Amino acid sequence: MKKLLGILAVGLPLLAQDLAISPERIREHTRFLSMDLLEGRGVGARGGDLATEYIATQFALAGAKPAAADGTYFQKVPLVGVETQPQTRLSASASGKTVDLRWLSDFVGVNARQQAQAGFEAEAVFVGHGITAPEFQWDDYKGADVKGKVVVLFTNEPQSADPKFFEGRSLTYYGRWTYKYEEALRHGALAAIIIHTTPTAGYGWDVVRSSWGRESPFVKLAAGENDLAFEGWVTREAGQSLLALSGRTVEELLAAADRRDFKPIPLGIRFTGNITSKVRSIETRNVAAVVPGSDPKLRDEVVIFSAHWDHLGVGEPVNGDAIYNGSIDNATGCAMLLEIARAWAALPRKPRRSALFLAVTAEEGGLRGSEYYATHPLYPVAKTALALNFDAIYPWGKALDVVLTGAERTTAMPRAQQIARRLNLAITPDAQPEQGHYFRSDHFSFAHAGIPAFSVGHATEFAGKPKEWAERGFAEYNVKNYHQPSDEFHPDWDFTANQQAADFGFLLGQDIANQDALPDWVPGDQFHR
């Protein structure tokens, strides 16, 4: 402990008890935030309000100041909840034949225009993977006019043996489904439908169904702003039936989509959709607190620490339990955020730059809270040094390593390596870069705006345990507990690994906050400032 306290001091005078990040405090914050009392911390629900009040109160008790523009701890995030109703219909026809699709079984999707009722009828064009990437000399649209039409496509990226092509095994943003819809909108499409396959998506239809079969939150459209009438997915089997209307197959178009000479293919199919939605305005908020820096010239620049406070609320019962507590995902991250804020505020001499602590809303609905912050920042993007995110850290004992999702993209990586060595932690690379984890947590919203950002993730190895033990634990959690009511607090959890990850973020944040120059992206990275 004395050695750790010496490390945490970073050469400064020490209030040992206040500066030591405590696994017990992290435990108690996690326990409270994942209690049934908070009803799964649903966005726009009572439990979510209780969670944000608790987090704001803890920031205040820690000595972190309100950071929102109105002088409170709450940045209001105007969202619209859109829940597609079971009576929604989608069909495709060609040459006198019609294929009717069944909601949830064959297709899912949402009206991104945030309307209660929307209908469309339009021709379909197959656009491969739906990518326009000049730096890779790739254009799936190749000048085709898809305005007012339905684009049909696959997620992921063209496959190649070239390790430099679309960054090889690592998925780029071009491969994410979010990009597909954005690019379709930029080309003027009316709707976009992804044909799901497990290899291209990286997960099964059950994940798509559970994610898209519930309410989807959107940042409220501004007056005059447009979006797709339908963002949808169909199963591989449904896609096969649809493509059969044009005399084609899923396998044939998958192969075509991987060729550089691919050109958009008019399918001769006409889609008809009648999308019925339950639409509501959602009052939700990010919780924001700041500890001002000590340097008069740099204190208007910030290091961001973030974690999402929301989970899935009350939902479909599983074994009689309808509360989706989200203890690991992400009460743990919020607990660590609170503990880092407390320790930072206790520093007798503050770092030169300020520290902004953000507990963001609606991550589970598509990173909406962090997306809103990135487009409505409390501190200018150009004056944000780094964003460190914490999401789902397993409390399984003493860690031997830490996974940094995306740190290698930034010039902060060498300093991260130095901090890890000081804490006797190895840095383990993402074992599944093809899954695009970098684009699936809140740090991505900051990166999308140009801020160097990454997540400080969970350990993959634990002291006294074989590596296979942790691998089995991850597999069991993902299958049995991830996004299930069974993600509940366990009194016998050991939060040492959470403390270690918080120590790491605390020290790295201080280091960056004291540097003369702002970090940046590695030259050539797709998010370079």
Collapsing DSSP states into helix, strand and coil, what is residue 414?
helix
CA atoms of 341 and 346, how far apart (whole Å): 9
Give yes or no: residues 312 and 459 share one domain. yes
Tell me if 54 is assigned to some domain.
Answer: yes
Q: Is 96 left (phi over 0), alpha (psi -120 to 50) or beta?
A: left
Q: Is 68 a domain residue?
A: no
Q: Are residues 274 and 402 in the same domain?
A: no
Dihedral of the alpha carbons of 164, 166, 170, 174, in degrees to the nearest 10: 170
Residues 348 and 454 in one domain: yes
Query: Is the same domain home to 130 and 267?
Result: yes
Structure confidence at residue 161 (pLDDT)? 63
Residue 336 main-chain phi, psi, to 5 deg: -70, -40
Is 5 part of any domain?
A: no
What's the pLDDT score for residue 9? 42
376 touches 449 (CB < 8 A):
no
- Do 35 and 114 lie in a common domain? no
**Structural domain total, the chain:** 2
Q: What six digits make up the tokens of 491?
A: 């009194």
- Quick one: 106 and 249 in the same domain? yes
For residue 315, which phi and psi values (nearest 5 degrees)? -140, -155
- Verify that 143 and 45 share a domain, yes or no: no
How far is CA 524 from its chain centroid? 23
What are the E-state strand segments in 412-527?
426-428, 453-456
- pLDDT score of 7: 41
- Residue 16 has a pLDDT of 52
Q: Could you give the dihedral angle defined by the CA atoms of residues 129, 216, 80 and 275, in that order, rounded to the nearest 10 degrees?
A: 80
Domain of 467 in residue numbering reads as 23-63+292-514
Q: What is the pTM of this model?
A: 0.87
Residue 3: the pLDDT is 42
What distance in Å separates the CA atoms of residue 141 and residue 331, rounded to the nearest whole number? 42
Residue 12: predicted pLDDT: 39
What gap in Å lies between CA 524 and CA 346, rounded to an integer?
39
Residue 35: predicted pLDDT: 98
Beta partners for residue 321, in sequence order: 318
Question: How far apart, in Å, do the first and last CA atoms of the chain sit?
Answer: 40
Same domain for 297 and 261: no
Give the CA count within 13 Å in the CB-facing half-sphere of 19: 23
Mean pLDDT for back-to-back runs of 10 residues, the chain (529 residues): 42 53 98 98 95 98 97 96 96 96 97 94 97 93 96 91 72 90 97 96 87 88 92 98 97 95 96 97 96 97 98 92 96 98 97 98 94 96 97 96 93 97 93 76 94 95 93 90 94 98 98 96 80
Assess if residue 527 is contained within a domain: no
On whether both 270 and 319 belong to a single domain, the answer is: no
Task: Indicate which CATH number applies to the domain containing 443.
Answer: 3.40.630.10
- At 391, list the tokens: 């999401």
Is 475 in the same domain as 427? yes
Residue 130 lies in a domain: yes
Last residue of a domain, one of 253, 279, 305: 279
**For 295-400, where are the E strands, in sequence order?**
302-308, 313-318, 321-324, 354-360, 384-389
pLDDT of residue 18: 66
Q: Which two tokens stand for residue 114?
A: 């945030």
| Residue that is last in its domain, among 245, 279, 313 | 279
Q: Specify whether 101 is located in the same domain as 235.
A: yes
